[in-house]
Structure 1
């Protein structure tokens, strides 16, 4: 799916949380959405998903404004994994993942691809959890199931808000490697991430936000420089070259005392 963000802006509580963002995440690629806490990453994902209406600008999906896309079609084409997705219902894992198939079901409840739930569970390495009660899962297990539910939608655009939350390092690497490989099937993915080394390792493209504004965009090798990290996050760092991948490898120094991270200029 082609995504174009055009001078996008929205205010929450009287403050511009997303302010004039212009970006074109590459189609069929993994774009990392980076920035300090409060930079506007979650709000931007919700705007792209069509869950929030912008006050300025637009999000275009294949040249159509997201809010012009009928809600059911939007649910078929876009999957959003939010940070705090939860359910109090007494469901099994398989039933939770099957919720992702609702937009595809006919008026009589028939699913045109009944094997999609099993494929999604396997893709998220969650098959062994299928019959477990949702309420008994750990945080990391729940995160895998949320990803499986999003994959069950078979979206053209996958939006992930901190998808590595609650996962150990092996699971983080496995998750992002899998998400990156979705691009081979044409899936466009935008993932909000806090770990810059994970972003540098797996993302094809990154967008860096600070105080609601886009301050940098491009391949991680071009964007994740020591100067930018200092300007945006207020942290000293050395950006090295990974000996195996050739991608940026960030060695952290220390936070700059009394410095408030923010956009340049």
Structure 2
């Protein structure tokens, strides 16, 4: 899916929490959405998902190769059922207990594909999503018995069950140990689906993302390949920290070695 974020802005609580963001994440690749707490990452994801209507600009999506083609339309204006077939948002998971099995939770992702009689147009989609997310062994477990990391994997399976052409993820590595974080981001990257993931860990973003967007106080501070964007100057300006940016000896990707808070760092959002 092709995604264009064109001058998008919105106010919450009387202030612009996203302000004039222009970006075009590359199609079929993983884009990291970076920035300090309060920079507007979650709000921008919700705007891209069509859950919030922008008060300025527009989020445009197109997917001419899909079974039900979409051509350069504002995402928030798409019919809800059609939007749910194209766009999946994995929000930060909650610990709410629901009386469902894992298979039933994943099946919630198939709601946009149910007929008027409640039957799924593709009965095998749930099982494929469980397999893709390596969650088959959890299928018959009660949701309430899962660990945080297991729940995150099931959330991914539910999003995949939607068969989206645009996948949005808000802190997908939360609750995961180091090995699971690496596995999760490699999995999303290798889907070759247009994906945007809000991330706090800069080294994970540098290792797995083809493209990054850096927000600061609701505005786009920088965009581009991690090696070009994640510089000591940007890290000082946006995060208020001093860092050395090294090159990984195996991958050639940037590795960020933080050295401390920048002595000239002022008050920053978040």
The residue that corresponds to 2:81 in the other structure is 72
Structure 2 CA distance for partners of 1:262 and 1:214, relative to 1, 3 Å: farther
d(CA) in 2 for partners of 1:88, 1:168 = 22
Following TM superposition, by how much is the alpha carbon of 1:87 offset from its aligned partner in structure 2, in angstroms? 4.5
The residue that corresponds to 1:219 in the other structure is 225
TM-score by length of 2: 0.93
Query: Is the 2:49–2:76 contact (alpha carbons within 8 Å) kept by the matching residues of 1?
Result: no
Bigger drift between 158-167 and 67-76 goes to 67-76
1:93 equivalent in alignment to 2:96: no
Following TM superposition, by how much is the alpha carbon of 1:258 offset from its aligned partner in structure 2, in angstroms? 6.8
Query: Is the 1:85–1:146 contact (alpha carbons within 8 Å) kept by the matching residues of 2?
Result: no
The residue that corresponds to 1:205 in the other structure is 211
The residue that corresponds to 1:112 in the other structure is 121
The residue that corresponds to 1:146 in the other structure is 155
The residue that corresponds to 2:144 in the other structure is 135
d(CA) in 2 for partners of 1:257, 1:143 = 37
| RMSD of aligned residue pairs (Cα, Å) | 1.3
Give 3-state SS (helix, strand or coil) of 1:6's partner: strand
Following TM superposition, by how much is the alpha carbon of 1:21 offset from its aligned partner in structure 2, in angstroms? 0.3
Query: Is the 2:93–2:152 contact (alpha carbons within 8 Å) kept by the matching residues of 1?
Result: no
Question: Which of residues 86, 91, 94 is equivalent to 1:82?
Answer: 91
The residue that corresponds to 2:9 in the other structure is 9
Paired positions, count:
260
Query: Is the 1:232–1:261 contact (alpha carbons within 8 Å) kept by the matching residues of 2?
Result: no
* Cα-to-partner distance string for 1:128-158 (whole Å, 9 max, x where unaligned): 1111110111111111111111111000000
Give 3-state SS (helix, strand or coil) of 1:194's partner: coil
Give 3-state SS (helix, strand or coil) of 2:85's partner: helix
Give 3-state SS (helix, strand or coil) of 2:257's partner: strand
* Cα-to-partner distance string for 1:187-242 (whole Å, 9 max, x where unaligned): 21000000000000100100000000001000001001111111111111110000
d(CA) in 1 for partners of 2:37, 2:128 = 34
Give 3-state SS (helix, strand or coil) of 2:255's partner: strand
Following TM superposition, by how much is the alpha carbon of 1:262 offset from its aligned partner in structure 2, in angstroms? 4.8
Bigger drift between 69-78 and 85-94 goes to 85-94
- Which residues of structure 1 form unaligned runs of 5+? none
The residue that corresponds to 1:30 in the other structure is 30
Structure 2 CA distance for partners of 1:213 and 1:83, relative to 1, 3 Å: same
TM-score by length of 1: 0.95
Query: Is the 2:8–2:59 contact (alpha carbons within 8 Å) kept by the matching residues of 1?
Result: yes
Bigger drift between 226-235 and 82-91 goes to 82-91
1:162 equivalent in alignment to 2:171: yes
